[in-house]
Amino acid sequence: MTEYRKQVDKSHYSFGKYYYPGRWMSYWHETDEILKRADIKTILDIGPGSDLLKNILKTFNPGLDYKTVDVATDVQPDFVGSVTALPLADNSYDVVCAFQVLEHIQFSDFETALLEMKRVSSRYVFVSLPHFGPSLELQLKLPFIPRIRLATKIPVPKKHVFGGQHYWEIGKKGYASRQIRKIMQKHFTIIDEYVPFENQYHRFYILEK
């Protein structure tokens, strides 16, 4: 199993560059998935970045017990450690989240990371991953008619090349979405799986033990 170290400095998480409009909407979905479930009281967020999710949750539900873990000490996580070997006890948190994190580890460690998240979670695991490829999108809004939104990913079987951050991405050669789903179904019930219309680069998985 690979030993992982931080890939970027905290300054990487800048407004306008890292937080582009589509990613901003992904934070809305992350927040929504947590806040709409009354049985979530404790959260472990793996790879918190700039603490934006923490601050949003604190605003709308300050009673949530939110903790973080990361290999990078400059983001000041509550726990220092890797997603492949979480330094926490079994069933410690209602939900364990890894939003745009698991692509930063070797694909050979992907299932190990999922099992670690399952071990530490008492119920839910929430994951989002980059989904490579162009999308075809249609949005229609007419007066007095609800907005219609349709989108689909266009497969482009491109080989992935590690550029310093992502070891792999869904949609690249060898990483089909059905393959990722099959691995997850070995260990979880998939409550939901979707690509937000506003950000076709992120695919969300809402998993339950």
The model's confidence at residue 157, banded by pLDDT at 50, 70 and 90, is confident
DSSP state of 159: P
Residues spanned by the domain of 57: 10-208
Q: Is residue 186 part of a domain?
A: yes
Domain contains 3: no
Whole-model pTM? 0.91
Q: Is residue 94 part of a domain?
A: yes
Does residue 23 belong to any structural domain of this protein?
yes
Q: How far is CA 188 from CA 54, 97, 165, 196, in A?
A: 25, 14, 27, 21
**Number of independent structural domains in the chain:** 1
* pLDDT value of residue 188: 98
Residue at 4 is within a domain: no
Share the mean pLDDT of the chain.
94
- Cβ contacts of residue 166 below 8 Å, gap of 6+? 103, 104, 130, 160
**2 belongs to a structural domain:** no
Q: How confident is the model at residue 131 (pLDDT cuts 50, 70, 90)?
A: very high
Q: Please report the pLDDT score of residue 11 as a whole number.
A: 73
49-85, pLDDT tens digit by residue?
888 999 999 999 999 999 999 999 988 999 999 999 9
72 part of a folded domain: yes
Structural domain includes residue 5 = no
| Contact of 87 with 79, CB cutoff 8 Å | yes
Instruction: Identify the CATH number of the domain in which residue 138 sits.
Output: 3.40.50.150
